[in-house]
């Protein structure tokens, strides 16, 4: 009976161990279980016929502990197997939970993967289609339609000279500029002259001329960069500088996104680099900020622009090569500077003048304006009635304004019913434009063939434009000898007033009489401001004429400073003054002998006479002499 019970008990243990081993094989897998048994030195025990060995192997496998060596008695084996059941239950439960978690993780990963694929597809579609949408595409279509609309070429563009030979009245200036530009060693140039005489046009055409010469350094694609000095704005902190260039720091000024993300400063190149290899033309250069002018001079010396930034790190591997190049070597800026100004040379920076050759453009004469209007009419394809060009020349000395008057008259002629192909602009058309523009004659004072007492024509200049000054004087015997007064209009300026007092002293030396015996009133008609002493000779002649009753020819003009000893001293602005005299119809101009070396080329229709002493001039206008009794003390 005991044997049967023992056998049954062993059989029960055998089945129990087999069941647990089967479960363990299912958990780990048979192959993995064999490998694990080998690692735990339990493979022989697992294959043993003894139930004790298999239980020991089962213990090692469940607890994953090869140090378990104690054999179990049958009584202990049952307890051990129950413990192993608990361990296997925990293991299976944990494995079940892990499998559930793995399934959930796999599902989530699959979901995220699908979302990622969707995002990638959307990005690909977006890149293929671009950033546009229906609204932006509509705006783009509207912009394209606007681009298709255009007006005809403006009248100003059509009438502008297209060749140097078409520029009127500036032969000397054109030649001078070409000799400085069309050379193996071209020079920086400053162009002086009044507005509207062709400075900008000549500068453009001069570069085209220079490109055609083999010996000049200008290539066929040499750029002509044009900018107005009055519009050049810059920040002293170098935040912005369109002329020289600046650096956009990544934080404050917003460099490109790819550079800002890496805190890389971005240099912005200026006009001086854009003009590299060509011409940088700065109109109204005299209006530029003086500090900016000095910075420009540094660029002219170095022929490069250098950039600085506290954000620049030369060792940063993320900085592109071109930015390293700009910060280490600078940007090329080897160009020719042509600056144009309406200011007097004395108002331009001496440092800038010292680096530039100087070319002076003459004021346009009425004959020049007539030629400009006629040439512009040919380009416009219209006929001019007799006197139209001459009428325009009476109201302007600017070529730009003359062509604008012609364009306005062209519109008036079309409005009254003219046909463009057969159009003729009449004097009435031009007169209507002049009246609607509220223009007045540019030469209010004109010479005549008469003679007058106490009236003489002097010459003045404003900027580069000369004009005739009408100076008149009247004289009356004073009520008490020696208590006469000299009056002078204050608006003519303090230097002109000084000229009156100088003339009073010279009057006594020449005539032997005291001017204090007369009440004298000297007037510059129109209150013109005389900013220099050049009216001295004219004022003296007017006073003598008024006191002595001597008539003065009205087709002559005189300019010159008078010293207390009667010397006629040199004056400035002689070129402009002679051109101004010609515009007023003066046939003879008396100038200081000291200025004869600075005379402009012969001006057709004007005789220039040098005088060293005031007596030289007075003898020519008063051939009868000065020591005569006053005949008429009031100008008539």
320 SS3 class: coil
Alpha carbon distance, N-terminus to C-terminus of the chain = 175
- Are the C-beta atoms of residues 305 and 299 closer than 8 Å to each other? yes
DSSP state of 475: E
Nearest of 281, 291, 249 to residue 266 by alpha carbon: 249
The answer to whether 295 is a known catalytic residue is no
Catalytic residue among 180, 199, 548, 577: 577
Alpha helices in 388-466 (DSSP H): 388-393, 399-415, 427-436
Which residues sit opposite 582 in a β-bridge? Answer: none
**What's the DSSP call for residue 64?**
T
554 and 447 Cβ atoms separated by less than 8 Å: yes
Instruction: Tell me if residue 174 falls in helix, strand or coil.
Output: helix
Q: Do residues 589 and 599 lie in contact, with contact meaning Cβ atoms separated by under 8 Å? A: no
3-state class (DSSP) for residue 609: strand
Cβ atoms 225, 280 nearer than 8 A: yes
User: Cα separation of 319 and 308, whole Å?
Assistant: 15
Catalytic residue list contains 577? yes
Contact in structure between 491 and 527 (CB atoms under 8 Å): yes
| Active-site residue, selected from the candidate residues 182, 534, 545, 548 | 534
> What token pair was written down for 338?
């042509």
Q: Are 270 and 245 in contact (CB under 8 A)?
A: yes
DSSP helix/strand/coil, 39:
helix
DSSP symbols for 446-462: ---S-EEESEEEEEEEE
CA-to-CA distance for 293 and 297, rounded, in angstroms? 6
33-to-18, 19, 46, 77, 87 alpha-carbon distances in Å:
14, 15, 10, 21, 16
Q: What residues are annotated to the active site?
A: 534, 577
């Amino acid at each position: 009976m005991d044997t049967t019970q023992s056998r049954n008990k062993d059989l029960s243990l055998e089945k129990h161990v087999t069941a647990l081993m089967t479960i363990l094989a299912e958990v780990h897998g048979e192959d993995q279980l064999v490998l694990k048994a080998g690692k735990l030195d339990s493979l022989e025990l697992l294959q043993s016929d003894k139930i004790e060995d298999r239980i020991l192997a089962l213990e090692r496998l469940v607890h994953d502990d090869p140090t378990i060596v104690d054999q179990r008695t049958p009584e202990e084996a049952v307890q051990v197997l129950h413990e192993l059941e608990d361990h296997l239950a925990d293991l299976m439960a944990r494995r079940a939970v892990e499998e559930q978690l793995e399934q959930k993780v796999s599902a989530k990963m699959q979901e995220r993967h699908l979302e990622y694929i969707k995002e990638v597809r959307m990005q690909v579609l977006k890149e293929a289609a671009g950033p546009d949408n229906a609204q932006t595409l509509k705006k783009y279509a509207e912009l394209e339609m606007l681009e298709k609309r255009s007006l005809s070429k403006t009248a100003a563009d059509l009438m502008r000279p297209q060749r140097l030979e078409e520029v009127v009245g500036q032969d000397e200036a054109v030649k001078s500029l070409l000799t400085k530009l069309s050379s193996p060693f071209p020079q920086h140039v400053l162009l002086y002259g009044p507005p509207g005489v062709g400075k900008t046009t000549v500068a453009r055409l001069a570069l085209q001329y220079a490109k055609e010469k083999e010996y000049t350094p200008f290539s066929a694609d040499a750029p002509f960069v044009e900018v107005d000095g009055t519009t050049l704005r810059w920040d002293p902190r170098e935040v912005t500088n369109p002329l020289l260039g600046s650096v956009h720091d990544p934080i404050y000024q917003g460099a490109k996104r790819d550079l800002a993300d890496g805190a890389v400063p971005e240099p912005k190149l200026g006009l001086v680099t854009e003009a590299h290899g060509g011409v940088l033309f700065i109109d109204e250069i005299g209006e530029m900020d003086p500090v900016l002018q000095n910075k420009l001079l540094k660029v002219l010396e170095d022929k490069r622009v250098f950039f600085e930034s506290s954000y620049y790190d030369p060792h940063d591997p993320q900085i592109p090569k071109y930015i390293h190049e700009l910060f280490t070597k600078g940007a090329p800026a080897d160009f020719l500077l042509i600056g144009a100004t309406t200011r007097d040379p004395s108002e331009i920076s001496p440092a800038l003048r010292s680096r530039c050759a100087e070319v002076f453009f003459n004021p346009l004469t009425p004959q020049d304006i007539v030629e400009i209007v006629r040439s512009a009419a040919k380009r416009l394809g219209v006929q001019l009635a007799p006197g139209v060009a001459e009428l325009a020349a009476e109201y302007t000395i600017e070529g730009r304004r003359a062509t604008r008057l012609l364009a306005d008259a062209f519109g008036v002629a079309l409005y009254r019913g003219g046909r463009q192909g057969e159009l003729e602009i009449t004097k009435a058309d031009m007169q209507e434009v002049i009246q609607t523009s509220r223009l007045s004659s540019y030469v209010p004072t004109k010479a005549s063939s008469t003679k007058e007492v106490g009236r003489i024509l002097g010459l003045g200049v404003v900027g580069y434009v000369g004009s005739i000054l009408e100076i008149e004087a009247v004289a009356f015997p004073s009520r008490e000898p020696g208590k006469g007064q000299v009056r002078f209009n204050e608006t003519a300026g303090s230097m002109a007033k000084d000229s009156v007092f100088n003339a009073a002293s010279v009057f006594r030396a020449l005539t032997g009489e005291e001017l204090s015996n007369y009440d004298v009133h000297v007037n510059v008609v129109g209150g013109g401001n005389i900013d220099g002493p050049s009216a001295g000779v004219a004022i003296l002649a007017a006073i003598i004429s008024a006191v002595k009753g001597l008539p003065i020819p009205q087709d002559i003009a005189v300019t010159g400073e008078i010293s207390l000893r009667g010397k006629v001293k040199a004056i400035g602005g002689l070129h402009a003054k002679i051109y101004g005299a010609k515009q007023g119809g003066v046939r003879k101009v008396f100038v200081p002998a000291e200025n004869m070396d600075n005379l402009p080329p012969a001006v057709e229709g004007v005789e220039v006479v040098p005088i060293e002493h005031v007596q030289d001039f007075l003898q020519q206008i008063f051939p009868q002499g000065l020591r005569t009794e006053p005949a008429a003390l009031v100008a008539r």
